[in-house]
Amino acid sequence: MLGRYRSDDVRNGWISGLDDETGCHHPTLGGLRIGKLLRERGADESIDEQREWDRDGQYFHYLTKWIHALCQAAFVTGDNENVRWARELAETAFRAFACRSESGEILGVYWKMSTDLSRPLVPAMGLHDALDGFITFREVQRAIAKVPTHPEVSGFNQATEALFALCHHREWMTDDPLGVGGCSSTLAVFAN
């Protein structure tokens, strides 16, 4: 399960730190590992850019894909549990991946974080991460409206606004095939 630590990790249980029963009800609260072949790079290890692609951790752009999948499941099934999981994952992703200035201003979102979200593994921001995050968070807002859940979402709305602000006056052109595909699929969500 991607919401739990790897079997070869010294840490165990839910990434969120929840007990087993509560974790089963909130599996996305600590985020979701990508599930790569190698364990994440240790805090004392220097980065090897080639091996980093094969190392575990949490990626912002993968979490947005999970959030999208949970929203789509909610639209089809009407199950508000999927909406809750999408909202919890989005809130966790924003809180952990947001790169802030000393004054608290949101400067961007980290591309890759450690499994427990305690430190950036790749401190750069992906070219389209802010746009992908904004559109995906708007999808969560739509899911909340369509398949109502009970918890307050005002803090979530602030996260969406912060991502929107990061999108202002940005250049979105790319010749990277992955970026083009990612933007196309992200924008297709918004068109529906």
pLDDT in tens, 54-101: 999 999 999 999 999 999 999 999 989 999 999 999 999 999 999 999
The residues spanned by each domain of the chain are 58-191
**Please, which residues have CB within 8 angstroms of residue 83's CB and are 6 or more apart in sequence?**
70, 71, 74, 140, 143, 144, 147, 149
Q: Is 28 left (phi over 0), alpha (psi -120 to 50) or beta?
A: alpha
Rounded Cα gap, residues 192 and 189, in angstroms: 6
Cα-based distances in Å from 146 to 5, 63, 95, 140 = 33, 21, 25, 10
| pLDDT tier for residue 148 given thresholds of 50, 70 and 90 | confident
Q: What is the pTM of this model?
A: 0.87
Task: Answer yes or no: is pLDDT of 106 > 60.
Answer: yes
Q: What is the 3-state secondary structure (H, E, C) of 105-150?
A: CEEEECCEECCCCCCEEECCCCCCHHHHHHHHHHHHHHHHHHCCCC
Strand-pair partners of 108: 99
